Chain A
Amino acid sequence: GESVGLHLPTLSVQEGDNSIINCAYSNSASDYFIWYKQESGKGPQFIIDIRSNMDKRQGQRVTVLLNKTVKHLSLQIAATQPGDSAVYFCAENGDPGTYKYIFGTGTRLKVLA
């Protein structure tokens, strides 16, 4: 498949372990954030979102943490599975009130059997 990013940071985890993917965002005024998963040859898939008035949000096997003090987001995936192997992006609405999103560079997650 096509390469999403040639020199992405890579996180390798054992199947069944928990994964933590980090993202530093750029604009302290951003008030909405989304995590996306992108598999080779596909468009980004919406995983979970969080508003700036929250510091934690949980979904099915995923948790997003937001630290506005240091402009940091993390995505935690519990009991990582082979199907979780993909590139993960964080996105911020750098221009609040708009749909103009700024994307991070992405992290490649490799799940080892």
Chain B
Amino acid sequence: KAGVTQTPRYLIKTRGQQVTLSCSPISGHRSVSWYQQTPGQGLQFLFEYFSETQRNKGNFPGRFSGRQFSNSRSEMNVSTLELGDSALYLCASSSGSTTYEQYFGPGTRLTVT
């Protein structure tokens, strides 16, 4: 089975811009979670999508949003970028129902200047 894929791998944006990141989960998995990883805060949960619905949400401002499509692919969007949004954004794939195992993609490295 192919693993979790994320695009793009690297992005450089300017403050105030917006960005959209994409994630394709493992085939057959219906749950996609997003995490932000920074040296200072570590890995923090952003939100989880299952069957095109946001099922869980972390403690991030409304500038962070996401969606999931009928093929389980997911996107996350960050609007009005701030310098502090520079991070590695990780997508994790899970079955969504039968097991709690969670597998990560390689991440998208976002740099905000």
Contacts and interface: CB of A to CB of B under 8 A. Distances in A.
A binds B: yes
Interface of A: 2-6, 32, 34, 36, 42-46, 49, 89, 91, 93, 95, 98-106
Interface of B is mostly: strand
Given A43-B4, A103-B44, 14 more contacts: A2-B88, A2-B109, A3-B39, A4-B37, A42-B107, A44-B90, A46-B104, A49-B101, A99-B48, A99-B56, A99-B94, A99-B96, A99-B100, A104-B42
Interface of B: 4, 6, 31, 33, 35, 37, 39-40, 42-45, 48, 55-56, 58, 88, 90, 92, 94, 96, 100-107, 109
Contacts, number: 66
A106 B37 CA distance: 12
Interface of A is mostly: loop
A102 B102 CA distance: 12
Contacts of A101: 33, 45, 102
Contacts of B94: 99
B106 A43 contact: yes
Contacts of B31: 99
Contacts of B45: 100-102
Nearest to B88: A2
Contact of A6 (B39, B102, B103, B104): B39
Contact of B90 (A5, A43, A99, A102): A43
Contacts of A3: 39
B11 to A, nearest CB: 14
Given A2-B88, A99-B33, A99-B56, A45 B42 contact: no
Contacts of B55: 98-99
